[in-house]
Amino acid sequence: MKRLPIFLFLLLLPALLVGFAFHGTLSAAPTRVFVSVPPQKYFVDRIGGNRVKVSVLVPAGADPHTFEPKPATMVELSRAGAWFTIGIPFEENLEPRLSSANDELAVVRTEEGIRRNDHGQEGVDPHIWLSPRLVKVQAENILQGLIKIDPAGEKAYRGNARRFAAELDALDRELKTLFSGSRGKAFLVFHPSWGYLAADYGLDQVAIEVDGKEPKGADLARVIKLAREKRIRVVFVEPQFSSRSARTIAESIGAKLVTADPLAANWADNLRKVARGFKQAAR
């Protein structure tokens, strides 16, 4: 075989380098994965880094309790490398349909190993992403799931996971300091999404809704009486639920109505913001 003349090689070198770079880009394409709710994207992004591309099933403002994905979303999900669940009821109905479309889809149960609290008629409380301590458990499940679908990225994933764990510990200490002296104090919410956060830091969550529904007259009167006794000055509502009864209570007790979104995508900053609001309400 004849050698390529040096002048021709030099002419072709830029094109060869571009080709190698293009090939490297293709081989390093991120793995497409899905999560159920926006805060999970924050967790998977922190651990997966640029090796994953994360999509969210439940869009901002939607209620995960009644969510039903569109057919196009189902197609995208069935083609993904993994789906990170979190123990929300709609996932149970979705999984059999996905298995029939792609029985090789990796389903990573980030809620595994977490003891969940009772949530009345709705079963167990799925809002485990609102406790930094429980997110540490979820992070370990996410780590193992990513390693399983992308073994080549194990070193990167483990390094990211260590840094994320340190951030979670720091946030936990920050919230513990914030709530020092507030143990046993109550805050009022429409939907009881914040039970794990309350349990971690010794607060008392009082829910307005009754078994997932707007309270009737007698229940409303009971909550108003309780809120007055506890001198609650802030009533929290969520964008996924009606604020009608919460507004009635706030007007009756002279309280401020504040939005606390449990599904905000900017998880850490949102948790700090909401915690400061709870602290104010629990004084």
**Which CATH number do you get for residue 124?**
3.40.50.1980
DSSP run (H or E) holding 235: strand 234-237
Together in a domain, 155 and 31: yes
* The predicted structure's pLDDT at residue 261: 94
Q: Establish if 262 belongs to a structural domain.
A: yes
165 with 36, same domain?
A: yes
Are residues 196 and 269 located together in one domain of the fold?
yes
267 domain-assigned: yes
Q: Is residue 16 part of a domain?
A: no
Share of the chain above pLDDT 90, in %: 61
Q: Are 111 and 134 in contact (CB under 8 A)?
A: no
Is 109 in contact with 132 (CB distance < 8 Å)? no
Q: How confident is the model at residue 276 (pLDDT cuts 50, 70, 90)?
A: very high
Higher pLDDT, 182 or 281: 182
Residue 10: pLDDT over 70: no
> pLDDT tens digits for 117-160?
987 666 789 999 999 999 999 999 999 999 999 999 999 999 99
The number of distinct structural domains making up the chain is: 2
- Domain identity same for 129 and 264: no
State the pLDDT confidence band at 241, using cuts at 50, 70 and 90: confident
Is 33 a residue whose pLDDT tops 90? yes
Domain check: are 35 and 162 in the same one?
yes
Task: Tell me which of 158, 174, 190 is where a domain ends.
Answer: 174
Give the per-residue pLDDT at 66. Answer: 82
- Looking at residues 2-20, what average pLDDT do you find? 46
Based on DSSP, count helices (H) and strands (E) in the chain, helices before strands: 10, 8
In angstroms, the CA 110 to CA 135 distance is: 9
Q: Do 43 and 135 share a domain, yes or no? A: yes
Domain that holds residue 206: 179-281
Q: What was the pLDDT predicted at 28?
A: 65
In a domain, 18, yes or no: no
Quickly state the pLDDT bin for 240 (edges 50, 70, 90): confident
> Which of 147, 174, 201 is where one domain is finished?
174
pLDDT band at 12 (very low <50, low <70, confident <90, very high): very low
Do 123 and 46 fall into the same domain? yes
Report the mean per-residue pLDDT for the chain. Answer: 87
Distance CA(79)–CA(33), nearest Å, equals: 9
- Quick one: 124 and 216 in the same domain? no
Flag whether 31 is in a domain.
yes
* The pLDDT of residue 7 is above 50: no
Identify the pLDDT of residue 104: 85
**Largest CA-CA distance found in the chain, in angstroms, rounded:** 94
Higher pLDDT, 97 or 144: 144
| Residues found in the chain | 283
Euclidean distance between CA atoms 100 and 75, whole angstroms: 12
Q: Is the pLDDT of residue 5 over 80?
A: no
The amino acid sitting at 185 is K
Do residue 215 and residue 202 come from a single domain?
A: yes
**Range 47-70 average pLDDT:** 90
Tell me the percentage of the chain whose pLDDT exceeds 70.
Answer: 89
